[in-house]
Chain A
């Protein structure tokens, strides 16, 4: 009963490098989300996908791209990493937009 699985758990990048964070859910949920969590800032929504084939910007989309590969998978890409993107990234899914979200354990990303 995996729920939401994120890979990798930890990553260190140099400024300017690119990387894709992977997320998969096995609950047959329609909606998926990417958040970043920073000290004193709470959770901020980067992008979300209300259903397979659709993606929309959240509160802080600049510097990121996403792909909803299929119903299970939703990836987040940093094309040219910047130190300001050092954060903990969480993927979440829900049956629909108003249903409770289920979270992965996060990816801790440091950009030097």
Chain B
């Protein structure tokens, strides 16, 4: 099956940009998602990108996709303390016809 990998932890200062990275293995992944999970809550969809796109911007969020390297990143501009959460990368594999989630990156924002 597909593997989706993320680093476990990222710490940034309030006001800086955060970049959370993700790599995946299935080159037929067609939809790639970013979810946010706050303590005690479920996963909330932040944004997603189709595989025929290189970039998507939505207010403070920028998603970059490098299909050649199978690398996805989420950039959060002007990071705030409210952005502290776990961020999950997920990919829909065209080959396996299912969504695979990464293990999640815990973002800590230091005031």
Contacts and interface: CB of A to CB of B under 8 A. Distances in A.
A105 interface: yes
Interface string A29-44: 0000000000011110
B98 A100 contact: no
A42 B43 contact: no
Contact of B42 (A42, A45, A104): A104
A105 B43 CA distance: 8
- Interface magnitude class on chain B: 20 to 34
B12 interface: no
Contact of B41 (A40, A92, A99, A106): A106
Given A97-B97, A98-B31, A98-B92, A42 B104 contact: yes
A40 B43 contact: no
Contact of A100 (B30, B33, B41, B104): B33
Contact of A101 (B45, B102, B103): B45
A102 interface: yes
B42 A90 contact: yes
20 contacts: A42-B88, A42-B102, A42-B103, A42-B104, A43-B43, A43-B101, A45-B98, A48-B98, A90-B43, A92-B43, A97-B99, A98-B31, A98-B92, A98-B99, A100-B31, A100-B33, A100-B45, A101-B99, A105-B42, A106-B40
